[in-house]
Structure 1
Amino acid sequence: MIRVRVTRTQGSTPREAGAEMFVGTARVTGTIGGGQLEYMAIDRARQMLVRGETDATMDVPLGPQIGQCCGGRVMLTLDRHGPAPLDHSDALIFGAGHVGRALARVLEPLPVNALLIDGRADELAQASGPTLLTPLPEAQIRMARPGTSVIIVTHDHALDFLLAAEALARADLAYVGMIGSATKRAQFTRFATSRGVDAAALTCPIGAGFSRDKRPEIIAAFTAAELMARLTASSLKTYPCNS
């Protein structure tokens, strides 16, 4: 297959430098932003497959001549290269109730290794994906790898507080979020202070920056968006054109 990689950008572009897709004779994986730019790159990549070429470059202005109005410019590098393994991060979801199960489903296609954790076998039995039945969920936080995300959506406020304090005691986690309200956050802040834990890094309520809708599926969708924004923040840029 042919790897198509964005190696340089100028002005407004649909994807950032480093974005890539892989083009085979009948299948395309990934995207460099869609639109005519992507069609042109796919066509050029398949020409390379037919002709046996190993390398090519494309310098594409995103203007009226190709039917895109971004106004920027993209340099593409094409070579024979298979896709590298996806770089997944770990996420621990505590609580296998409605929100926890919905969140695990939403995260399945994303580059996140999600583990749903609960002490209730009947709730875990309704879940899809990896699960862990344990009476000591806080131990999973202590054993988690640096960069892990922790999402707390249990049925018990006292357990929520215990897990959140355990997570915030570590300074190397990517995200710590807890379901709740402004009142619950205030209560937790007092609890954390009494234990010498700084609650400033806690996201609570989760997903609230997007919507106040309380349906489990909606909370899960917005929490997943919030989590991915946090995980990709180091490389996130604003691209006015996304088509």
Structure 2
Amino acid sequence: MLVWQRLLQAIDRHGKAAMATIVETRGSAPREAGARIVVLPDATFFGTIGGGTLEWRVIADLQAALARQIPHFYTSQRVALGPELGQCCGGRVDLALEVFDRSRRAEVVELADAEASGLFRTRGTQLSDGKLHRSIETTSQLPIGSARIDHGVVEEGFGDDSRVLYLFGAGHVGRALVMALAPLPFRVVWVDPRPDAFPQHVPANAHCLQPQDTPSALDGAPEGSFVLVMSHSHALDLAIVAKALKGQPFAYVGLIGSETKRARFSHQLERAGMAQDDIARLVSPIGVPGIKSKLPAAIAASVAADLLVRDEAIRQALAYGTMGPAEASARAVGGR
């Protein structure tokens, strides 16, 4: 969630906004540290700290804070989910609650600009004016999207570290998949050379490309990107797959189709001189096992679930330094 850009929009439109951040959890909790919810004066909100009674109470607390005639404030709460809220999670969450108004616009603009430029981390301390003063931290290794508190100092990671997915093909399944991925942590580069291939409206996390040389869309792809091939042409599918497998080590290369299609592609790639280790990285059929429906929406749900499993495995592997992205992706689903 690009929180600072959304906060800036809220301040410009409504004059103020309030935010709650989970800064620490103990035991079972509905969301992880770094989860945030922003509440506006008109009672609308975006983001989530897990739903349920905890979120309902926090929204009420933020609405009450917005109604006060004070320009800003910062406070912390420690909530025992079982004894205080009756939630069966049974854990504990530490929350930071803040109000931002127009007097803090310059501060929010600085953080929104940093967010627009990429990933960044902050270190925050509460001073005598009651605000949490954040400074951009260049040495912290805190994961993006997380938060922690240590002796009153709040460290946070911001920015969009969504997995980049190169999706080739804007047919029925491609369209269904783009919609399935719209609320999920993926940035979709949607590629199709055909005129009028794309719908008039696409989700905010999708960017449409129509290059003359379709496989060239992979040039300069970020490290750890996923590639998913489902174009209108088997010949084009083969060219894209060949480029993806023999180029940089993408974390995932998937091809829609049957076991027969995979066997034919493997044979053609081998005849073209590709190494067996590279060919073995091709995932086909795609999606999670057990879903046999050929409805586009069902295929999209299956593939989206598979991509989520792979993305999570890669993040965990990188966090603990146990293996590279491609190996973590393969192991996440038993080598498929």
The answer to whether the superposition gives a TM-score over 0.5 is yes
TM-score by length of 1: 0.82
Greater shift after overlay, 54-63 or 73-82?
Answer: 73-82
Residues 210 and 50 of structure 1: CA distance in aligned 2, closer, same or farther (over 3 Å): farther
User: Given the alignment, which residue of 72, 78, 86 partners 2:91?
Assistant: 72
Q: Out of 282, 285, 288, which is 1:208 matched to?
A: 288
State the SS of the aligned residue for 1:173. Answer: coil
The 3 A distance-change label for structure 1 pair 170 and 61 is: farther
1:47 shift after superposition: 2.6
Question: Over residues 174-223 of structure 1, what are the superposed CA-to-partner deviations in whole Å (9 max), with x where a residue is unaligned?
Answer: 43221012333333334444312613433322213361211112112222
Aligned residue for 1:138?
215
Is 1:97 aligned to 2:171, yes or no?
A: yes
**Are 1:57 and 1:75, in contact at CA under 8 Å, matched by a contact in 2?**
yes
Distance 1:97 1:80, change over 3 A: same
Alignment-derived partner of residue 253 in structure 2: 176
Question: Contact between 1:13 and 1:73, CA under 8 Å: does it hold in 2?
Answer: yes
Residue aligned with 2:281, SS? coil
Range with greater deviation from structure 2 (215-224 or 26-35) = 215-224
Q: Are 2:47 and 1:30 aligned?
A: yes
Return the alpha-carbon distance in structure 1 between the equivalents of residues 62 and 89 of structure 2: 23
Deviations 1:15-62 (A, max 9, x none): 111111112221211100011111121122223223335111111111
Change (3 A) 1:101 1:128: farther
CA distance in 2, matches of 1:143, 1:90: 12
The 3 A distance-change label for structure 1 pair 63 and 104 is same
Change (3 A) 1:71 1:28: same
Aligned residues: 235
Q: 2:58 aligns with which of 41, 45, 48?
A: 41
Residue 141 of structure 1, CA deviation: 1.1
- Residue type at the aligned position of 1:223: V
Offset at 1:155? 2.9
Counterpart residue type for residue 44 of structure 1: D
1:4 aligns with 2:23: no
Q: Distance in 2 between matches of 1:228 and 1:99?
A: 17
**Residue 239 of structure 2 is aligned with which of 135, 142, 162?**
162
**Structure of greater relative contact order (alpha carbons < 8 Å, 6+ residues apart):** 1
So what's the TM-score if we normalise by structure 2? 0.61
Q: State the shift of 1:10 in Å.
A: 1.2
CA distance in 1: counterparts of 2:278 and 2:94, whole angstroms: 46
For residue 238 of structure 2, give the secondary structure of its aligned residue in structure 1.
Answer: helix
User: Amino acid of the residue matched to residue 162 of structure 1?
Assistant: A
SS in 2 for 1:76: strand
Q: Which residue of 1 aligns with 2:333?
A: none
- Pairwise CA RMSD: 2.7
Segments of structure 1 that go 5 or more residues without pairing to the other structure are 237-243
Sequence identity (%): 40
Is this contact kept in 2: 1:2–1:22, CA < 8 A? yes
Residue among 285, 289, 299 paired with 1:219: 299
Give the whole-Å Cα distance in 2 for the aligned partners of 1:70 and 1:208: 28
Deviations 1:132-167 (A, max 9, x none): 334421111123333433210023333222212211
Residues 1:8 and 1:143: Cα distance change in structure 2 (over 3 Å): same
Deviates more, 1:9-18 or 1:210-219: 210-219
